[in-house]
Amino acid sequence: MAITMINPKDVMAKKFEESHLFLKLRSLIICGRMFESKAEEHSILHSVGTFDLIDEKMKEQVRSDYELVRANIKNRGFKVLTGKMGVYVQPRTKGPGHGSISRAFYAKRKFLAIILGIEVP
């Protein structure tokens, strides 16, 4: 699940608590929908839920994931960001990939399961 775009200048300038990532995760409304086809002609709403990043242990891990991205941008550059980074949140190519240079923060599967209430932290 995409959370927010990564603007390298913004990430370098803002601590986690000031970041777009934290602002988005602080309080979410999640709408789950059924996948029917890539054409996406319509969508069936499956469920609606809320998520607030208030659990301190979880918040610390997301902060750590953010700081990992921040350190890599500072020390190695924006282009080294990869989906292999992070425990709960990963930087990934936004969209289909294949040469795209934009990146976004995505919730990894384990974190998404927690957000959706499928798994307990």
- pTM for the complete prediction? 0.87
**H or E element: which one contains 29?**
strand 28-34
64 falls within a domain: yes
Which residue range is the domain that position 66 belongs to?
Answer: 2-32+48-115
The domain total for the chain is 1
Residues ≥6 apart with Cβ < 8 Å to 44: 33, 34, 36
27 falls within a domain: yes
37 falls within a domain: no
103 falls within a domain: yes
Helix (H, G, I), strand (E, B) or coil at 120: coil
Give the model's pLDDT for residue 68. Answer: 98
Give the model's pLDDT for residue 48. Answer: 87
Give the model's pLDDT for residue 40. Answer: 86
One digit per residue, the tens of pLDDT, for the chain of length 121 reads 999 999 999 999 999 999 999 999 999 998 888 888 889 898 899 888 899 999 999 999 999 999 999 999 999 999 999 999 999 999 998 766 666 788 999 999 999 999 988 877 7
